[in-house]
């Protein structure tokens, strides 16, 4: 015959198991909901696959929040821009460049540097968002959209300096810069989506 203590332990174990199972199911459902939110949001961008692949690892952080989505998109774009800037700078010091390539790479280093600064400004400005002041909200979002648009222009300008010539150096630089430009484009689309959420508030 089971003692009272054994019975208590049995029911306590059942309760703990139920709690763990419920928590796990809830957590899985929540994460799937966050992933669905990212996928739906990325459908508004030009480069949907890149958007989803780059943002899905941060699903739990984003938590189906449009502001967090925009900030995360900007942060991963900034990281990619810094990486591209470092790569292009290394190319400029590598030697063996033609006069045209050296000039184009030097311009590209400057353009990507400007892009990094503009993305940093955008992230910092988003941190000052005030939902209660609609005028301030619109002003901040307008500034952010302007900076991110400028960053996208800088990415495009970087490649313009190489002209139409097909070279190994151009292809190497393009591979990095195009990815940054696409991520910047996606970030801008998600920022625009975030801006539209304010219009829906009472």
192 three-class SS:
helix
Q: What is the pLDDT of residue 183?
A: 95
| Segments forming the whole domain that contains residue 131 | 4-199
Q: Is the pLDDT of residue 26 over 50?
A: no
Q: Is the pLDDT of residue 184 over 90?
A: yes
Q: What is the pLDDT of residue 99?
A: 86
- How many residues in the chain? 202
What CATH number is associated with residue 117? 1.20.140.40
Convert the pLDDT of each residue in 121-175 to its tens digit: 999 988 777 666 677 788 888 889 999 999 999 988 888 888 777 788 888 898 9
Q: Is the pLDDT of residue 84 over 70?
A: yes
Rounded CA separation 190/47 (Å): 12
Phi, psi of 47 (to 5 degrees): -115, 80
Q: How confident is the model at residue 46 (pLDDT cuts 50, 70, 90)?
A: very high
Instruction: Count the domains in the chain.
Output: 1
Rounded CA separation 81/68 (Å): 20
């Amino acid at each position: 015959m089971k003692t009272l203590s054994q019975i208590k332990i049995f029911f306590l174990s059942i309760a703990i198991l139920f709690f763990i199972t419920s928590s796990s199911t809830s957590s899985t459902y929540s994460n799937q909901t966050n992933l669905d939110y990212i996928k739906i949001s990325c459908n508004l961008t030009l480069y949907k696959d890149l958007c989803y692949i780059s943002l899905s690892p941060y699903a739990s952080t984003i938590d189906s929040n449009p502001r967090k989505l925009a900030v995360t998109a900007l942060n991963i774009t900034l990281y990619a821009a810094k990486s591209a800037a470092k790569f292009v700078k290394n190319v400029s010091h590598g030697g063996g460049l033609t006069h045209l390539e050296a000039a184009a790479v030097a311009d590209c280093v400057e353009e990507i540097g400007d892009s990094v600064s503009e993305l940093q400004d955008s992230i910092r400005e988003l941190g000052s968002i005030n939902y209660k002041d609609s005028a301030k909200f619109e002003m901040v979002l307008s500034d952010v959209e302007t900076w991110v648009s400028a960053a996208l222009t800088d990415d495009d300008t970087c490649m313009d300096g190489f002209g139409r010539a097909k070279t190994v150096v151009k292809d190497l630089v393009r591979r990095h810069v195009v990815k940054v430009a696409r991520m910047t484009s996606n970030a801008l689309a998600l920022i625009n989506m975030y801006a539209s959420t304010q219009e829906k508030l009472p």
